[in-house]
Amino acid sequence: MANTLTIFLLISTFFTGFFWCFYRIKSIKKYFLKKTILKDNNLNKKSVLHIKNKIYFFESLASFFPIFLIILIIRSFIYEPFQIPSGSMMPTLLIGDFILVEKFSYGIKEPITQKTLIKTNQPKRGDVVVFKHPNDYNVDYIKRVIGLPGDKIKYDTNKKNIKICTHYLDTHHCKKKIMIKYSKSTKSNFFQKIYFLNKNNFIQEKEVYNSLYFNIVEEDINNVKHNILLLNGVKNKNENYYQQKNMPKLTWIVPKGKYFMMGDNRDNSLDSRYWGFVPEQNLVGKAIKIWMSFDKNENEWPTGIRVNRIGNIY
């Protein structure tokens, strides 16, 4: 559950905060000790020592309150670390990257329900954003903002590019387009393994059948540049794409208060093309830095550290 750590921090902060307030008020502390000891004049040294040890234990517990409070404030309202578990944002983010997400980029939010308390900025086209999945609020996703509220987006499954219209008469006529440029496709070092199940003596063994190398392309959306990966020759079936009501296939108009997200690994990303739009209240924050990167593959142990990847995210 995505909010488990937040709930744990809240409970721990309130619990230790209670003892911190109680034992940091000297008059109450002295009164508690004096009253307990004087309550029975027959208390021996062992009993007095037991009471003092008990007080020391709760004082030590109370000392954790400032730590929990600082962590809670930073993690809930300022910055939160995330790990990249899949390759849907390659080549921008790789499996094993640890990123820092700026929580206040799109508003100060209540940490459990994500209700906006103070509005700040709105997402910009091209931002890399962490958000709660619209169909499963307990799952965090990370994608790039492609469409803003009111945008009309068309996706070409053959050329694998997008067209964005900001002012239009209807679904077929556009008055103002967003300038989108694509560089020439070049072969990258990234590859996709293709598996098949080999039935050998009634035992299914997973083996590598082939490896397809991705092509890398620079996508320039209104001078916001980033690289995307494409698998030439691989085409997803049209029936797999999300169809908006009263709209033709592969064309979407982003509703008010929602955003259209896409992964940079275009042929290996479950995003708004498949499950629709992301509500504004689902936004967690903007990914700004890679603070650590382990050289690893999905579901495998790290084999080293990629120091050269530490830095800003574009």
Looking at the annotation, which residues are catalytic?
88, 143
Rounded CA-CA distance 201/269 in Å is 35
* Contact between residue 228 and residue 216 where contact means Cβ atoms under 8 Å apart: yes
Rounded CA-CA distance 158/163 in Å is 13
Q: How far is CA 36 from the centre of its chain?
A: 51
Rounded CA-CA distance 247/229 in Å is 28
> Between the CA of residue 198 and those of 191, 205, 207, 209, what are the distances in Å?
22, 5, 7, 10
**Amino acid residing at 158:** N
Structure-token pair, residue 194: 């293709």
* Contact between residue 180 and residue 219 where contact means Cβ atoms under 8 Å apart: yes
Cβ partners under 8 Å of residue 48, min gap 6:
37
Q: Which helix (H) or strand (E) holds 68?
A: helix 65-73
In this structure, what DSSP letter does residue 281 have? G
Q: Is 208 left (phi over 0), alpha (psi -120 to 50) or beta?
A: beta
The widest CA-to-CA distance across the chain, in whole angstroms, is 94
